Amino acid sequence: MLSKRLVKAIGTPKVALVTGGASGIGRACAVLLAQNGAKVIVGDLPTARPRFDKWIGSKNLGVDFHALDVTNGDQWTKIMQEIEDKYKTIDVLVNNAGIYSQPEPTFLEQNEDYWRKYYSVNVEGALLGTREAIRLMKKSTSDESRSIINISSNAGQIGMPDLPTYCFTKGAVRMFTKSIALQVARDKSNIRVNSVHPGGVDVFQDKMDLIPVEQHAAMRVQIDSIMEGMHPIGRGAKPEDIANAVVFLASEESAFMTGSEVTVDGGYTAQ
């Protein structure tokens, strides 16, 4: 049975858009938001459609897929117009799409194209999505708050020597979240903006198709060992651990939270 945490008082579901929603954290967010009563749209690259069909579409949760390159402003305008035409409003935006490599090339080996790629996806994607969501959210007359949730990282809170560019982009998302939260609060627009900061997330399920079957067991052991040593809690995060925080921030249970950062990293940054 589906929960009704994300059903409005008038009985209609909250409308939620999740970027990068076909795999990993985004997939878990899309599924859990839908299971809690939201009408969910996944925005992801066209190449992600097979993953969406396999991991989300097959669950028959009524989640829709829209092709979206988060670095393209015209595509943001288009998807928001389609959402407005069909649902009149948007209640929740999860800016999840991002890129990451571990470890990065050393800083002196990185070039401008490398930096621009990280910036365009991890930062500009969140800027564009937030801007277009706010434009549509401000048209709502509902008494219930609207929620923008930016997926940052604990790498946006502390320095990590092997991830200078990733840390830069996720730190930018963290501070943008706080600033825009204050701006829309000042406007009395009933829009909340918060960030979620995961630690190491076990996305083995999404990598299985890329790894020969005979290597799965050894890879599973290797990932478990790395994650156990990394986090004081003794394991890596499941995508659903992050999605639980997102559902909370999307719901009215967090109605007094804005400009906040929710750290879900198994104690990593507490050390």
Q: What is the mean pLDDT of residues 228-247?
A: 93
Identify the pLDDT of residue 220.
67
Residue 259 lies inside a defined structural domain of this protein? yes
CA distance 85 to 260: 31
Residue 218 lies inside a defined structural domain of this protein? no
Residue 61 lies inside a defined structural domain of this protein? yes
Give the total number of structural domains in the chain.
Answer: 1
CA dihedral sign, ordered 151, 71, 144, 191: positive
Residue 174 lies inside a defined structural domain of this protein? yes
pLDDT band for position 206 (50/70/90)? low
pLDDT exceeds 90 at position 103:
no
pTM: 0.93
Domain residues for the domain of 146 are 15-201+239-270
Q: What CATH number is attached to the domain comprising 182?
A: 3.40.50.720
Residue 211 lies inside a defined structural domain of this protein? no
Residue 10 lies inside a defined structural domain of this protein? no
Give the model confidence (pLDDT) of 254-266 as tens digits. Answer: 999 999 999 999 9
Other CB atoms within 10 A of residue 87 CB: 16
CA distance 240 to 261: 18
Q: Which residues contact 98 (CB under 8 A, 6 or more apart)?
A: 20, 121, 122, 125, 151, 169
Give the model confidence (pLDDT) of 169-182 as tens digits. Answer: 999 999 999 999 99
CA dihedral sign, ordered 271, 225, 28, 116: positive
- Active-site residues, by number, are 166
